[in-house]
């Protein structure tokens, strides 16, 4: 691969980016870097989204200033990361990520020094070799993410045909897909995320490389996989992302136990949960990763409970053991923080109680801080014919009822409960 490219310079009258759509904070940081004698550009997803008429989620800057130089230049700057050393500049309530241009790795580089670390599988675990802007282009993942924007003259620099791929609506790697995906297997997940978000196609060569290299996802640290899962499923296109992950054989590396429980029946609980997540994001409602995990792992949990019950374990113990096992096993693939586990277990533990509707527990359940999330899971279980619609309808109605109506509904549960035989009083020893 040629490591020097002459960029196509796209003038302001030939692209659709308006400075009014760009963060003024990011523009000021670029100008301050330039005033200090450094080169600096907006780069990556923000440029891509601006060209597509979308509102960027955040703004990233690439520069030839090294991390320590960036830190000395900006108050409120902190350096983060080992894999990629980055600077976060906090200003005006925004956090702008500033990255130093990275160079292509050469055969002369020592892969065990403090700057570089490469595994036997070819995955780059640490990459802090710095270079020029032209070098930096070739270290990026996809052509549509390798466009550079200069707020000063408002030109866009395209080194690798990113503008053409934006027009063609295709996700294509820079250079050999096998090499790019082997360097960082998470790029396979990113390709799906961008394709789902932008409704683009994935280049056939990237699809072929994904089919070959997908097992490398086993070697990605679970903590990093958690970050990717949240990006995949909390971006507003979770259902489309899920369908593509399954189509390209990637979902099994994220949730292998869920994959084993899935069959041809559609919609299934995961797809309904992800569609629900998309709907909530669309209208600005909050979403929590713990609820999504509770839904995605519900089927494996149920399967474990049945096995333990068949082995003679009592129901309460079976639920407790299965919940702990399901979370422990899943955490080997995608990390689940303890704070998530607490919420997930609460949501699961409330399911049998919501089904039973014991009159003495109704008010306690309604006041439970996880009730709403547990109720949402109950509704999804109703949609897949796992729960009687009458139960879900009853819980919906009681939430909307006045206190007097609630008391009446609870009395109705008592009246409809099976009558128990009266216990005979035991005579006291004294008698």
* Strand pairing report for 147-150 and 40-43: antiparallel
Q: Cβ–Cβ contacts within 10 Å for residue 394, how many?
A: 17
DSSP alpha helix (H) spans, 202-250? 204-213, 222-233, 238-247
Q: Is the pLDDT reported for residue 114 higher than 80? A: no
Lowest-confidence pick of 213-222, 316-325, 410-419: 410-419
Q: In sequence order, what DSSP letters do the residues of 322-340 get, joined into one string?
A: HHHHHHHHHTTTS---HHH
**Residue 373 or residue 6, greater confidence:** 373
Mean pLDDT of 8-16: 93
CB 342 within 8 A of CB 356: no
Q: Encode pLDDT of 361-401 as tens digits.
A: 999 999 999 999 999 999 999 999 999 999 999 999 999 99
Its CATH architecture, for the domain 266-414, is Orthogonal Bundle (1.10)
Phi-psi region of 92 (alpha: psi -120 to 50; beta: other; left: phi over 0): left
Judge residue 115's burial from the number of C-beta atoms within 10 Å of its C-beta, 0-12 exposed, 13-18 middle, 19 or more buried.
Answer: middle
The tokens describing 356, both together, are: 């039973």
What pLDDT digit, counting tens, does each position of 68-112 carry?
999 999 988 999 887 678 999 999 999 999 999 988 665 454 444
Which pLDDT score, from 0 to 100, does residue 431 have? 39
Residue 372 CA to residue 257 CA, distance in Å, equals 26
The SS3 call for residue 100 is strand
Q: Where are the domains of the chain?
A: 1-174, 266-414
For the chain, what's the residue count? 431
The residues near 335 (Cβ < 8 Å, ≥ 6 apart) are 221, 222, 223, 225, 226
Give the per-residue pLDDT at 326.
Answer: 97
Q: What is the pLDDT of residue 285?
A: 93
Is it the case that residue 415 has pLDDT exceeding 70?
yes
Report how far residue 73's alpha carbon sits from residue 300's, in angstroms, rounded to the nearest whole number. 52
pLDDT score recorded for residue 361? 94
The DSSP result for 54-99, as a single string, is PPPS--EEEESS-HHHHHHHSTTEEEE-SSS-EEEEEETTEEEEEE
> What is the per-residue pLDDT across 266-316, written as a single tens digit (0 to 9) for each?
789 999 999 999 999 999 999 999 999 999 999 999 999 999 999 999 999
Q: Do the beta carbons of residue 89 and residue 74 sit within 8 Å?
A: yes
Q: Which of 95, 201, 224 is nearest to 142 (CA)?
A: 201
Dist. CA 87–CA 95, nearest whole Å: 10
Query: Looking at residue 119, what is its pLDDT?
Result: 53
pLDDT, tens digit, for every residue of 238-278? 999 999 999 999 999 999 999 999 876 678 999 999 999 99
Q: Report CA Rg, the chain.
A: 27
On whether the CB atoms of residues 127 and 84 are closer than 8 A, the answer is yes
Confidence of residue 428 (pLDDT cuts 50, 70, 90): low
Give the pLDDT confidence of 143-201 residue by residue, as tens digits: 999 999 999 999 999 999 999 999 999 999 999 999 999 999 999 999 999 999 999 99
Please give the pLDDT value at position 292: 96
**This prediction's pTM:** 0.87
**Six-digit token string for 142:** 């996809």
Taking residues 197-220, what's their average pLDDT? 97
Residues taking part in catalysis? 58, 60, 141
Quick one: fold of 1-174? Beta Polymerase; domain 2 (3.30.460)
Task: Enter the DSSP assignment of 358.
Answer: -
Residue 1 · residue 106 · CB < 8 Å: no
């Amino acid at each position: 691969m040629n490591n020097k490219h002459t960029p196509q310079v796209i003038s302001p009258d030939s692209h659709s980016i308006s400075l009014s759509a760009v963060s003024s904070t990011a523009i000021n940081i670029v100008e301050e870097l330039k005033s200090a004698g450094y080169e600096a550009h907006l780069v990556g997803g923000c440029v891509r989204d601006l060209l597509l008429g979308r509102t960027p989620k955040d703004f990233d800057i690439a520069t030839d200033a090294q991390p320590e130089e960036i830190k000395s230049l900006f108050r409120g700057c902190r350096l983060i990361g080992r894999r990629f050393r980055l600077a976060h500049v906090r200003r005006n309530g925004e956090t702008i990520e500033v990255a130093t241009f990275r160079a292509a790795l050469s055969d002369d580089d020592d892969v065990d020094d403090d700057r570089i670390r490469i595994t036997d599988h070819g995955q780059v675990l640490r990459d802090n070799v710095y270079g020029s802007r032209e070098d930096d282009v070739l270290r990026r993942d996809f052509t549509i993410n390798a466009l550079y924007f200069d707020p000063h003259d408002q030109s866009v620099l395209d080194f690798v045909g990113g503008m053409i791929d934006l027009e063609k609506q295709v996700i294509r790697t820079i250079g050999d897909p096998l090499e790019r995906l082997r360097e960082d297997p998470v790029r396979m997940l990113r390709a799906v995320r961008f394709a789902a978000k932008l409704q683009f196609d994935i280049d056939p060569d990237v699809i072929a490389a994904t089919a070959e290299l997908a097992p490398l996802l086993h070697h990605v640290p679970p903590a990093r996989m958690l970050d990717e899962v949240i990006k995949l499923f909390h971006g507003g296109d979770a259902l489309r992302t899920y369908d593509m992950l399954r189509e390209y054989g990637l979902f099994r590396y994220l949730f292998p136990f869920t994959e084993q429980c899935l069959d041809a029946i559609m919609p299934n609980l995961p797809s309904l949960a992800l569609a629900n997540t998309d709907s909530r994001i669309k209208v600005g409602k909050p979403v929590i990763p713990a609820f999504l995990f509770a839904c995605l792992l519900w089927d494996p949990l149920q399967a474990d409970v049945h096995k333990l019950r068949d082995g003679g374990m009592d129901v309460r113990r079976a639920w407790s053991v299965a919940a702990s096992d399901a979370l422990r096993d899943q955490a080997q693939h995608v990390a689940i923080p303890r704070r998530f586990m607490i919420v997930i277990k609460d949501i699961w533990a409330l399911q049998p109680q919501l089904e039973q509707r014991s009159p003495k527990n109704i008010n306690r359940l309604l006041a439970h801080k996880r009730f709403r999330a547990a109720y949402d899971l109950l509704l999804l279980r109703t949609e897949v014919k796992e729960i009687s619609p009458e139960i879900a309808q009853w819980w919906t109605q009681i939430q909307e009822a006045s206190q007097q109506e609630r008391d009446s509904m609870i009395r109705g549960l008592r009246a409809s409960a099976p009558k128990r035989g009266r216990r005979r009083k035991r005579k006291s020893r004294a008698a």
